[in-house]
């Protein structure tokens, strides 16, 4: 109770400065928003973004040995830019279309789960955001994907999936991610109506994912924030922290209120996807993946004081050969800057 009271008092206080403010984000993705229960069926992620730092060594999140190592990152010596560190934890769940079947469905994707943590290191200005991220976790029964899906199904009072005995085997996972985001169309920052466009490109390498990616997000609305858009749950996707004091979460311009619509497209050239290719070092169920996968996103985002709430509806193209159709799911994110 004392912790809740202290947190409430923090929220009621004056807006923090960028070099003092943390941003916490909760994301939930599920195909229940499209009334299906298959493919990428559920995702959950919690993220904490540090206040702006002049140097990574200024962070209290890292031990001394880590600060020495991180100071060698490619962009860590750039002067005149702000830096942030993000810690994330999440879980992804994948199932075939027919979840009533107990036997292995050889021509559909494997049952799989990914339970992971991540550290991300950001170098940013108003126009650019560079991110290097390290993800580590576990695939297989240790991911607790079956238990998590059972809980969701119990809450919704729907039948549980019967084929989890066929899921991918336990395997540790490690992914190295790089991503660049650029605001190619500047945003008007004095309040009122605004528009911007944000590109991204990058890639990931590891036994869980290996891919190259690129995309574009366009935003239009009232008092559009100065962050780097609204991201789905994906590696290197943290974008919710404001970039400067003109953001409505820091200033009372527009009475701390923002409402904007956004549309985005993201494409990936997929070289490795363990959730389709199967286990790396052991025999397991697998399917033939599609090399090119795209996401089409429409959404709405609102800021009230220091809270940002976003909803996205996503259409994903086919991910493997023989898949009946693309996939549709919804994504909700709630963040608070405090």
pLDDT digits (tens, 9 = 90+) for 29-88: 998 888 888 899 999 999 999 888 877 766 666 667 666 777 777 766 666 788 889 999
| Contacts with 161 (C-beta within 8 Å, 6 or more apart), sequence order | 37, 95, 99, 100, 111, 146, 149, 153
pLDDT bucket at 19, cuts 50 / 70 / 90: low
Residues 151-210: tens digit of each pLDDT: 989 988 889 999 999 999 999 999 999 999 999 987 765 678 999 999 999 999 999 999
Res 95 pLDDT > 80: yes
7 domain residue, yes or no? no
Give the Cα separation of 187 and 334 in Å (integer). 22
End-to-end Cα distance, the chain: 19
Where residue 144 falls (left for φ over 0; alpha for ψ -120 to 50; beta otherwise) is left
Is 9 inside any structural domain?
Answer: no
Which structural domain range is residue 153 located in? Answer: 23-337
Number of Cβ atoms within 10 Å of the Cβ of 158: 11
Is residue 303 domain-resident?
yes
Assess if residue 8 is contained within a domain: no
Phi, psi of 278 (to 5 degrees): 85, 180
Q: Is residue 91 part of a domain?
A: yes
Residue 16 lies in a domain: no
CATH number of the domain within which 165 lies: 2.40.128.140
**How many structural domains does the chain have?**
1
Length of the chain: 338
Examine the pLDDT at 253 and tell me if it is beyond 60. Answer: no
The model carries a pTM of: 0.90
Report yes or no on 1 lying in a domain. Answer: no
Q: Can you give the pLDDT at residue 7? A: 45
Tokens of 115: 């339970």
List, for residues 100-125, the tens digit of each pLDDT value: 999 999 999 999 999 999 999 999 98
SS3 307: strand
Residue 312 placed within a domain: yes
% of the chain residues with pLDDT over 90:
67
Return the residue matching tokens 């389709």. 276
């Amino acid at each position: 109770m004392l912790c809740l009271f202290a947190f409430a008092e923090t929220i009621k206080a004056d807006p923090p400065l960028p070099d003092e403010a943390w941003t916490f984000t909760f994301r939930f993705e599920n195909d229940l928003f499209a009334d299906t229960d298959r493919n990428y069926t559920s995702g959950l992620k919690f993220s904490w973004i540090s206040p702006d730092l002049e140097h990574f060594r200024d962070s209290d999140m890292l031990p001394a040995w880590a600060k020495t190592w991180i100071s060698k990152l490619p962009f860590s010596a750039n002067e005149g830019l702000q830096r942030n560190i993000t810690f994330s934890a999440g879980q992804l769940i994948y199932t075939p279309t027919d979840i009533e079947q107990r036997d292995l469905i050889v021509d559909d994707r494997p049952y799989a789960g990914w339970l992971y943590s991540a550290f991300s290191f950001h170098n940013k200005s108003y126009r650019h955001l560079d991110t290097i991220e390290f993800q580590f976790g576990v695939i297989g029964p240790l991911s607790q994907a079956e238990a998590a899906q059972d809980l969701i199904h119990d809450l919704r009072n729907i039948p549980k999936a019967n084929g989890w005995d066929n899921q991918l085997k336990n395997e540790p996972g490690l992914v190295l991610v790089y991503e660049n985001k650029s605001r190619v169309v500047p945003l008007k920052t004095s309040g009122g109506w605004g528009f911007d466009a944000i590109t991204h490109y990058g890639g990931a390498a590891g036994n869980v994912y290996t891919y190259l990616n690129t995309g574009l997000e366009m935003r239009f609305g009232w008092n559009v924030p100065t962050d780097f858009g609204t991201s789905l749950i994906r590696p290197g996707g943290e974008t919710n922290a404001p970039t400067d004091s003109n953001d409505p979460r820091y200033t009372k311009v527009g009475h701390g209120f923002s409402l904007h619509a956004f549309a985005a497209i993201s494409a990936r050239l997929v070289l490795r996807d363990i959730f389709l290719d199967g286990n790396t070092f052991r025999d397991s169920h697998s399917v033939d993946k599609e090399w090119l996968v795209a996401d089409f996103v429409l959404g709405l985002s609102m800021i009230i004081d220091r809270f940002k709430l976003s909803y996205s509806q996503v259409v994903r193209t086919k991910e493997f050969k023989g898949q009946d159709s693309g996939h549709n799911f919804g994504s909700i994110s709630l963040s608070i800057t405090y």
